Amino acid sequence: MEAVIAGFGAALTPSNVAFVGLGVLLGYVVGVLPGFNRPTALALAVPLTFYMGPISGIAFLIGISKGSATGGAVSAILINTPGEASSAATCLDGYPLARKGRARSALLIALVASVWGDIFATLVLIALAQPLSRVALLIGPVEICAVLFFALTFIASLSGASLLKGLISAFLGILLGTVGLDAETGTPRLTFGQAELFDGLPLMVIAIGVLALSEMIVQMEERGQQQGTPLATGGDRLRAHEIRACVPVILRSSLLGTVLGVIPGLGASVASFLAYSWVRSTSSTPERFGQGALEGVAAAEAADNAVVPAGLIPLFALGIPGGIAAALIIGAFMIHGITPGPLMFLNHAHVLNAIYASMLLASVLMFAFGYFGSGLFARLAQLPLSVIVASVVFLCIVGAYIEGGTMFGVYLVLGFAVLGWLLRKFDFSYVTFLIGFVLTPTLELSLRQALILTDRNPYALLQHPIALAILAVTALAVWRMASRRRAVTGLATS
């Protein structure tokens, strides 16, 4: 108890509070601006922690990581451009809400979901880091592969009116997800001699092109009917029944994001899309999703933000980073002579408790910055359509250039803008396209590793009860979705 009190006392010193606040504010700005992603900001900030104390330095980086996850929702909602790749799922319902004049409501529900998901995962980290380290050790390639197969089953539920078109979109996303060097042999695949494609197609560029720039093409097409019309108008308030509907969604998605965050390698993009898919597939009115459902925004943001603290659980407990952001934060630990892992709970308990307190402080500051800034951000949506389109196109091009580092990124984003426009024009699901693309690299790698571990023997799965349980749930989900579709088809033909 003395160590806990001492840790909280160290976290609440004026200098530490200032560094945490600065980190959250910088992260928020990084999240809002397309192309300035979380890993880049952390990589630039790690050397700065050399001049700080261990508590302030690590808390500063965690503040950046948390703030960027929250800020990414702002541009996703207002201009259909995800500030972070993991905010792409927020665009699906956030931007339609802004188009309906509900930008402030979407921003507020995104903020509440983000902060709650973050606090929930932080509390889980504080309470269960050591016990969950044993669970994390049980999660290997076979289990990750089973989780991703389960995630792919949601493609059928998001395919829209035409299952065939939805599957075609998904397989196109899966095909593009295989671009780059083969994970096992190092053979280039679908690179056409372009060295820039050896690392695969960047998710951020695809998200900007398919979601944001293609939407601007649609807006320019309809300019004759909408010229001078603002994106959003006043009279925007959250209603009591909407808040009640979002509460269970936020709780479920926070839990899902925390569970997925503990598993190294999955990341926030998988969590946000999977949470969105789960909420939509279990909703009694799934047709509202994609048209402006607050529950869709809440699900994506709660899961996205829960991944950030949950990703620190394997780092603190085992010394294994849960993602790129956690891997960069290791640098700050090493600068100050702290080795993440089980011994950290014994040798640096006071530092760990101070970091926990700083993380909770960062959550409070996230809410303060987001709440007082939401009104200003919502007013930006009331600019004339011509100004919005020009600004978004400019940000998309700049973001693509920053992400790729060359004009090749710009060419890619323009190509995917055309692809996104074609998907919308011919009523193909760009949601299933994005999910297929997001899941493919991790699924392929874990599948190859699982085949090696099991020596391609299906009976070896008996040694992986967690994977078997997940595959059983997957089969049940497929059966339920097939039954629902047959029932809907029967009602339509009767």
pLDDT of res. 311: 80
Q: How many CA atoms lie within 13 A of 185 on its CB side?
A: 3
Residue 449, judged by CB atoms within 10 A of its CB (0-12, 13-18, 19+), counts as middle
pLDDT of res. 253: 92
Low-confidence ranges of the chain (pLDDT < 50): 224-234
pLDDT of res. 299: 92
Q: Which helix (H) or strand (E) holds 58?
A: helix 54-79
pLDDT of res. 330: 74
pLDDT of res. 298: 92
Instruction: Please tell me the total number of residues recorded for the chain in this structure.
Output: 494
Model confidence pLDDT, tens digit, residues 153-194 = 766 666 656 777 878 888 898 899 889 888 777 888 888 888
- Percentage of the chain modeled with pLDDT above 90: 5
pLDDT of res. 225: 47
pLDDT of res. 120: 92
pLDDT of res. 230: 45
Kindly write down the DSSP assignment for every residue of 399-428, as one continuous string. HHHHHHSSHHHHHHHHHHHHHHHHHHHTT-
What residue segments make up the domains of the chain, in order of their start? 2-493
d(CA 376, CA 365): 17
pTM comes to 0.70
d(CA 453, CA 467): 13
pLDDT of res. 229: 42
Which amino acid is present at 3?
A
Name the CA radius of gyration of the chain, rounded: 22
The structure tokens listed for 393 are 């196109």
pLDDT of res. 119: 92
pLDDT of res. 244: 87
